[in-house]
Amino acid sequence: MSDILKYETYLFISSTKLIISVNTDLKKKIYQKELLIDDQIHLKNFEKIDYFLNQNIFTIEKKFKNFIEIVNIILDLNFFFSVKIYVKKNNHNDYINLKSLNHLLYEAKESCKKTIDQKKIIHMIINNFQIDDKSYSLLPKDIKCQNYSLDLELICLSENFLRELEIILKKYHISLNRVVSADYIKDFCSTDDRDIFLMAEMIVNGHNPNEVILIDKPEKNEGFFEKFFNFFN
């Protein structure tokens, strides 16, 4: 969908229902359909997702006279695997910069490689900054320190599960952009009364300054991470 207005398509998957929602870049919902299901979606049982997409994708494309090319998925299932990591760096009374953070986050990711084998990191979140024994919820600007550490949480998902989702989407010539944990959305937006699709859009667009967005391949030797925090934007 690439006319004057930009569209974002979200697919919500839980054990009790499936919802597809299309929003414009003006935060206006222009299409939403729901299917209630009476049995759980299992790792090897995606027939209802396929059926639901078949009932809606062509209808959406016909209605808006354009193709859906990418979709974001909100997953409200107990399929996520969480890992908490603590990493520390000696900073020699220098400024904390993007390069040193990049290195520390890469080190953290590598340290749990065996633990998350055959899983993909969906969310990488910095829960706390410890700078010279003082805690910060957000990274302060222009700060020097002798050492600093990060409390990290990695929320992961089975690569096989993701592969099955991508196979179904490919039938409709759709690529998977992001998977977002519904529990993570609810925790981060606990005081927000907007619907889950608008809250998911905030997460996808980097609204959490402490979430590290991972990219599959580094560009221009900039490292493994596309974005750290709004602090560096």
Show the domains of the chain with their CATH numbers: 7-78+159-208 (3.30.420.40), 81-157+212-232 (3.30.1490.110)
Tens of pLDDT, residues 193-224: 778 998 999 999 889 999 998 776 544 544 44
Question: At residue 172, does pLDDT exceed 60?
Answer: yes
Question: At residue 233, does pLDDT exceed 50?
Answer: no
Provide the token pair at 182.
Answer: 């519904």
φ/ψ of 118, rounded to 5, equals: 65, 25
Query: 41 pLDDT band (50/70/90 cuts)?
Result: low
Tens of pLDDT, residues 69-94: 999 999 999 999 999 999 999 999 99
Nearest to 97 by CA among 59, 64, 145, 62: 145
What percent of the chain has pLDDT above 70? 86
Given strand 7-14, what is the order of strands in its sheet? 29-36, 17-24, 7-14, 70-76, 175-181
Question: At residue 229, does pLDDT exceed 60?
Answer: no
Question: At residue 45, does pLDDT exceed 70?
Answer: no
Q: How far apart are CA 230 and CA 233, in angstroms?
A: 5
Q: How far apart are CA 76 and CA 88, in angstroms?
A: 33
Q: What is the mean pLDDT of residues 118-129?
A: 95
Q: How far apart are CA 154 and CA 84, in angstroms?
A: 6
The predicted structure's pLDDT at residue 39: 65
Q: Where are the alpha helices (DSSP H) in the chain?
A: 47-64, 98-111, 159-170, 182-188, 196-204
The predicted structure's pLDDT at residue 43: 42
HEC string for 65-99: CCCCCEEEEEEECCCCEEEEEEEEEEEEEEECCHH
Question: At residue 53, does pLDDT exceed 50?
Answer: yes
The predicted structure's pLDDT at residue 160: 94
Query: 228 pLDDT band (50/70/90 cuts)?
Result: low
